[in-house]
Structure 1
Amino acid sequence: MRFFWKGGNIPARGAQKILAGEGSLWIAWINAYCFRVTDFWNVDCKLHFSWILVKMLKLISEALSLFCSGSNWTQIKVNWIWENIRSRYVKVSWHRLVWFPGHIPKFSLISWMAILHRLPTKDRLAKFGLPTDNACGLCNSGIESHNHLFFECLYAKSIWRVVLLSCGLTQEPLNWSDNLQWMV
């Protein structure tokens, strides 16, 4: 979901984070330095505000129109707004493998893309018409595909053996789907 105005667009995610009070450094700065004694709905735009915050504050009238007009905004809680603007999806069985307390965002994103088969492997790049040699960059034998990269490549097999052995497991890695179900 994106909000649009004459000058361009911004993701609604920034407004959602402010409304939900999520704990990023930017949100903490906004609450301490910009909002001080007020909230998102009642703050006056100041010269020291960042350009993105100014743009989001200009969207307040649009945001108000998303909800019932005539509401008493002082009595509406942030949690109620958050519950009404966020998208809800059914959790997949593997979500705790990727998103857990203490996860490293970079690794979680890569894992998420791998589970969804969205990594830019050479076979996928070739399907998009990009010129590529298709050979695996790790073993130089076989076509670099999702399954090859993780399970068929000699280098990947040796890493799997070491990791599984160090965990005291004797399972032989089969393919992505089977291993994902085993990990879940």
Structure 2
Amino acid sequence: MSFWVDNWSPYGSMENFLLSTSQSRLGIPQTASLVDMNDDGNWLLPPARSDDWLQLQIYLTTGSLNQDKDYYEWILEDKPTKNYSTSDVYNKLRGDDQSVPWAKVTWNKGGFPRHSFLAWLFTLDKCPTRDRLLRWGLQSDSTCLLCNAADESRDPLLFECSFSWNMWSAVASK
């Protein structure tokens, strides 16, 4: 286990903890392991020159090394585990699930991801319709590309445009 890089103490990695205020490694090689720094229970550390180094020395002298095999421990929801789960970490980082009523309609297992993404954009009114392109400052004609009858925006495009209405009617009848 690396003295500098691995997270073996409650202070995290020693690079972050000790070298955040000073770049001096005090003679400890960057490749040193934790075992290299201990000789039969005696810690081979230089004298403390800062409060952080003093905290580390107090921590090390109040504990002891054992001969057990090293392992990583992951803590999520205040429960330590030896097994890493990407989905658990993702769910923790994502935060609480705030479900919306249209989620199951938009994001379903049988749907094509491209179609689900487009439905999600339309639901949030974030699809780059011509009215949005004009608001972004792009030079564009505002007329609906499908029917040439009204300005193109989400609601008219989906519900008022005669061309899209005929298409949706044909899809709905099947």
Taking structure 1 as the reference length, the TM-score comes to 0.48
- Aligned ranges 1:75-94 → 2 under 5 Å: 75-79=81-85, 81-94=89-102
Pick one of 130, 137, 143 that aligns with 1:129: 137
The higher relative CO (CA closer than 8 Å, separation ≥ 6) is in 1
> Which letter does structure 1 place at the counterpart of 2:72?
W
Q: Name 1:108's counterpart in structure 2.
A: 116
Query: For residues 118 and 77 of structure 1, do their structure 2 counterparts lie closer, same or farther at Cα, with a shift above 3 Å needed?
Result: same
Q: Name 2:106's counterpart in structure 1.
A: 98
CA distance in 1, matches of 2:104, 2:97: 15
Q: Name 1:54's counterpart in structure 2.
A: none
> Which digits, 9 at most, give the CA deviation of each residue in 1:7-33, with x for residues without a partner?
xxxxxxxxxxxxxxxxxxxxxxxxxxx
CA distance in 2, matches of 1:143, 1:132: 11
- Structure 2 unaligned regions, length at least 5: 14-70, 74-80
Q: Name 1:161's counterpart in structure 2.
A: 169
Query: For residues 162 and 68 of structure 1, do their structure 2 counterparts lie closer, same or farther at Cα, with a shift above 3 Å needed?
Result: farther
- Structure 1 unaligned regions, length at least 5: 1-41, 43-60, 167-184
Query: For residues 87 and 139 of structure 1, do their structure 2 counterparts lie closer, same or farther at Cα, with a shift above 3 Å needed?
Result: same
Structure 1's consecutive aligned runs of 4 or more residues displaced over 6 angstroms after TM superposition are none
Q: Name 1:73's counterpart in structure 2.
A: 72
Q: CA RMSD in A?
A: 3.2
Q: Name 1:141's counterpart in structure 2.
A: 149
Query: For residues 125 and 83 of structure 1, do their structure 2 counterparts lie closer, same or farther at Cα, with a shift above 3 Å needed?
Result: closer
> Which letter does structure 2 place at the counterpart of 1:156?
S
What fraction of aligned residue pairs are identical, expressed as a percent? 28
Aligned residues: 105
Taking structure 2 as the reference length, the TM-score comes to 0.51
